[in-house]
A and B are shown apart, each in its own frame.
Chain A
């Protein structure tokens, strides 16, 4: 793409009304005839969520142009949101165009995160589309002098019932004007029974372009006069507190690189800028920087002790009955500690951004999950007012949470500001592995008691976690950009969020407690933030493993054991659906006879309701385990999934398949390595992920509820994978592995102990 650098005043039409300067955001849309008739003007270039015109325009050629603050991160939401709008409007899908994430064109819908795009963003667009449809009916009623009840709409045309001559397209009716009305919160919504586009497995709108190399990623954005930048990083790779300072820079080390422009330094932020990408790469490799730095991180072997000892704030999530008195009275009690390591975003394309910071204005092309939030942080970083910063979303490589997308925009912005030219920064693989925010390591301690009949009578769950959200906020949050952390020696900050996700048990156990120990962000060791599923990944690993431990201790079937403590029919249905598809056989627990040379097979189940209030997921995994090598081969994974109304079953299955495979990768392989200086897993050899030969069959059962709200599907299924696998390994071998990931090494040593103890007792 050759995105011509937009000159801001020409894009933002400044109009005067009643002597007050206002900016018509909708006018930025390249629809000439919308411009002429505009009355809908919104302050400050920030679209107002209350105005229908902020969400939707109908062009004369009968196309719907949708302004979506929610963006495509590789999950298929552009297609799904188009389906929602097309169906609600009664307009063909091909006539819907989505403009995504642009601080001068789209409304602020917050981050595209947390599996909330369809749940909230889709609901907002549906309301807007319903309001627009209502408006079009009213216009048609006036034009044809009939009552609205006499009108029907179909495929973008409104006609008077029984009178074919009286009809007009949406485009003809609106005539290139704005709607000039508020989104009606009470607009009548289409009955889901009448959906014709929602619920269909329509193909992804981007797929043909992707397959032939014509899809534009942020990595492909080129603007005239653009230079290339790279950042030269200090040695404390990925640390939450970056202590290193620059002692000296030998600029002669980059002499003679053709096309080299200059070194940029601000605090510990050191960058190079060059005319070509290759020259920038060469300069970043050759630039000699002496750092003052000292090791400050705990040894990786002491990670979990360090988490338990970290200063933290205790928060009681649930407390029902009296755990403290119930546990000692239990016939049998169990306690276990579970551990989950730091993990990274495994996006195949490292983050990239282009910044043009000149003349007191900034334009950024970025794959950020939140253009408005990034705008606030960049404004703070650059010392500009937010309205002078224009942030434009362009698709990036797969986004599984808060990766380097925001940070690289900060890098590019600082470099561009320094050289007064547009600068593109492409992070290296080591930048992404080492410096993007990490899914925080977590420690979980669980206790449970059973009565003599094997019923749960006490349950306590404690988790030690840093916050999972240190995203750049809307205002004053430059400190959450890596560039600021380097330039101004700041540490990231965030509300205590995400670590308690799915910490509380969903089962109706009596005498239950759940406590979160929020580790202070400064003590998080590595920079923490959101990775797919946030705390639910480790919390479900611990919760659902421990439920399995209790079922085994009670000698009960793991499926029946779970069902005994659930009453919500959708929860029960999802478990039964997974068990049926997997042809689950009821079992009572008995320890398998392990042999060192054998291959042992087992199955495990997990259940969750995402965030304890959204999507229901039940997962059954089948594994083969080789004690001799420690190899866990996943043969088959069955997922039953209920996220309410299904918008696009093929897109949904794609998300669930991806969640399962990424979940297997995180459960069996992924562990970020670090030493006292910083992260040492800086490429795919030192941080391996799942490969084709390791991929199992995945079977998905979708439970569609057209009259229930559509809730999220990007994250829920990944949370159930680790416990299903670990429970399957336990079923196969009798070994309970409580520290993730279940690597060959870890499984081998756990099973070696088991085999030895079997030998001793037989």
Chain B
């Protein structure tokens, strides 16, 4: 176990962890950030997605040591109940969830994508989310939410 300093949601956070342990567990268990979710531990579903230096990253397969010196943003760092981010608001307005377990990954992936491509076509949104899985079948609402957010942010 070693002491590490992480930059999470704009704040410096000191944690004691196994350097090889995955970032997801440190975020959830040590920093009590429950936006990122455990889905597969294999980088296959996207539920654990966070932003690292602005890029979407799967925190279940990234060792915590690799997060040192990077800017990490979780779902909680995007917006709040009082002031949700435009993408979060898009999801609320489109009622884009059933169980909501995949929502974190969808919003975080969309954030990194829209930052790169603020005026996407419908097909580009589908491709951007192609590696994020949803089991409940909420895809159509999620697509509408991202599209709405893109318009809002443009």
A279–B16 alpha-carbon span in the complex (Å): 13
Complex Cα spacing A350 to B37, Å: 10
Which residue of the partner chain, among A396, A650, A691, contacts B133 with CB atoms under 8 Å?
Answer: A691
- In the complex, per-residue mask of B13-34: 1 if CB is within 8 Å of any chain A CB, else 0: 0000110011001001100111
With the chains together, A689 CA to B44 CA distance in Å?
11
Q: Which residues of A lie under 8 Å from residue B37 when comparing CB positions?
A: 217, 219, 348-349
CB distance from A95 to the nearest CB of B (A): 20
Partner of A347, one of B32, B131, B135: B135
Contacts of B22 in A (CB 8 A): 278
Evaluate whether A212 and B131 lie within 8 angstroms (CB atoms) in the complex, with A348-B39, A658-B136, A661-B139 already known: no
B120 within 8 A of A: no
B17 and A662 contact, CB distance less than 8 A: no
Q: Is the CB of B92 within 8 A of A207?
A: yes
Q: Chain B residues with Cβ under 8 A from A654's Cβ?
A: 95, 98, 138, 141
Query: Residue of B at shortest CB range from A202?
Result: B95
B29 vs chain A, min Cβ distance (A): 6
Apart from the given pairs A661-B140, A692-B132, 12 other A-B contacts in the complex at a CB distance below 8 Å: A215-B100, A217-B101, A219-B38, A222-B32, A258-B1, A348-B39, A349-B101, A398-B135, A398-B136, A428-B41, A654-B141, A690-B139
**Chain B residues whose C-beta falls within 8 Å of the C-beta of A665 in the assembled complex:** 137
Interface-central residue, A216, A279, A348, by most chain B CB under 10 Å: A348
| 23 CB-based A-B contacts, threshold 8 Å | A204-B95, A204-B97, A213-B74, A213-B75, A214-B76, A217-B34, A347-B99, A348-B99, A350-B38, A395-B99, A397-B101, A397-B135, A429-B44, A657-B141, A662-B135, A683-B44, A685-B44, A691-B133, A692-B125, A692-B139, A692-B142, A692-B143, A693-B126
B19 to chain A, nearest CB (A): 11
Q: Does B59 belong to the interface (CB within 8 Å)? A: no
Asked if A426 lies at the interface with its beta carbon under 8 angstroms from chain B, I say yes
User: Which B103-154 residues have a C-beta within 8 angstroms of A?
Assistant: 103-104, 107, 125-127, 129-143
Band of interface residues on B: 35 or more
Contact in complex: B91, A211 (CB < 8 Å):
yes
State whether A213 and B33 are in contact (beta carbons under 8 Å apart), knowing that A398-B136, A690-B139 are contacts in the complex.
yes
Q: Shortest distance in angstroms between A206's beta carbon and chain B's nearest beta carbon? A: 7
Is residue A295 contacting chain B, with contact meaning CB distance below 8 A?
no
Assuming the contacts A349-B101, A397-B135, A400-B135, asked whether A212 and B95 have C-beta atoms less than 8 A apart, the reply is no
Cβ-defined contact, A695 with B133, below 8 A: no
| A758 touches B (CB below 8 Å) | no
Asked if B47 CB lies within 8 Å of chain A CBs, one says: yes
CA gap between A349 and B41 in the complex, in Å = 10
Which of B34, B44, B92, B141 contacts A220 (CB under 8 A)?
B34
Which residue in chain B gives the minimum CB-CB distance to A697? Answer: B140
List residues of chain B with CB within 8 A of the CB of A658: 98, 136-138
State which residues 45-101 of B face A: CB under 8 Å. Answer: 45, 47, 74-76, 78-81, 84, 88-89, 91-92, 95, 97-101
Contact with B along A185-216 (1 / 0, CB 8 A): 00000000000000000011011111111111
Q: Within 8 Å CB of B102, what residues of A? A: 348
Q: Nearest CB to that of B132 among chain A residues?
A: A692
Residues of A within 8 A of B84 (CB): 208, 211-212
Q: Which of A306-353 contact B (CB under 8 A)?
A: 346-350
Counted as pairs of residues, one from A and one from B, with CB atoms less than 8 Å apart, the total is 181
Residues of B near A551 (CB, < 8 A) are none
B-side contacts of A691, CB under 8 Å: 130-131, 133
Contact A208 B92 (CB under 8 A): yes
Contact A210 B79 (CB under 8 A): no
Taking CB atoms, residues of chain A closer than 8 Å to B81 are: 208-209, 212, 214
Stretch from A71-79, A368-376, A515-523, A569-577 at the B interface: A71-79
Is A660 on the interface with B (CB-CB < 8 A)? Answer: yes
Tell whether, in the assembled complex, residue A277 and residue B135 are in contact, meaning their CB atoms are under 8 Å apart.
no
Contacting residues of chain A (362-403) with chain B, CB-CB under 8 angstroms? 395-400
Give the chain A neighbours of B47 by CB distance below 8 A.
348-349
Contact A657–B137 (Cβ < 8 Å)? yes
In chain A, positions 245-284 with a C-beta closer than 8 Å to chain B are 258, 276-279, 281-282
Judge if A698 is at the interface, Cβ distance under 8 Å.
Answer: yes
**Given the complex, which residues of B lie within 8 Å of A395, measured CB to CB?**
99
**CB-CB < 8 A to A75: which residues of B?**
98
- Contact residues in B for A204 (Cβ distance below 8 Å): 95, 97
Bound-state Cα–Cα, A189 to B129, Å: 47
Nearest-Cβ distance from residue A212 to partner chain B, whole angstroms: 6
B25: contacting residue among A215, A220, A278, A685, CB under 8 A: A278
Please give, as numbers and ranges, the residues of chain B lying within 8 Å of A697 by CB-CB distance. 140
A584 part of interface (Cβ distance < 8 Å): no
- Give Cα distance in the complex from A453 to B108, angstroms: 60
A287: interface (CB < 8 Å):
no
Whether a CB of chain B sits under 8 angstroms from the CB of A659 is yes
The answer to whether B137 and A659 have CB atoms under 8 Å apart is yes
Contact in complex: A398, B80 (CB < 8 Å): no
Expressed in whole angstroms, the Cα–Cα distance for A685 and B133 within the complex equals 12
- With both chains docked as a complex, state the minimum distance between the C-beta of A692 and any C-beta of chain B, in angstroms: 4
Q: How far is the CB of B38 from chain A (nearest CB, A)?
A: 6
**B75, A684: Cβ atoms closer than 8 Å:** no
A213 and B98 form a contact (CB under 8 A): no
Q: Could you mark each residue 536-568 of chain A with 1 if its beta carbon is under 8 Å from any beta carbon of chain B, else 0?
A: 000000000000000000000000000000000
Scan residues 133-161 of chain A and give those whose CB is less than 8 A from a CB of chain B.
Answer: none
Tell me the bound Cα distance from A450 to B80 in angstroms.
64
Q: Which residues of B contact A219 (CB under 8 A)?
A: 34, 37-38
Q: Which of B18, B40, B79, B100 has the most CB of A within 10 A?
A: B100
Give the Cβ gap from A724 to chain B, nearest Cβ, in Å.
15
CB-defined contacts of A281 to chain B, threshold 8 Å: 25
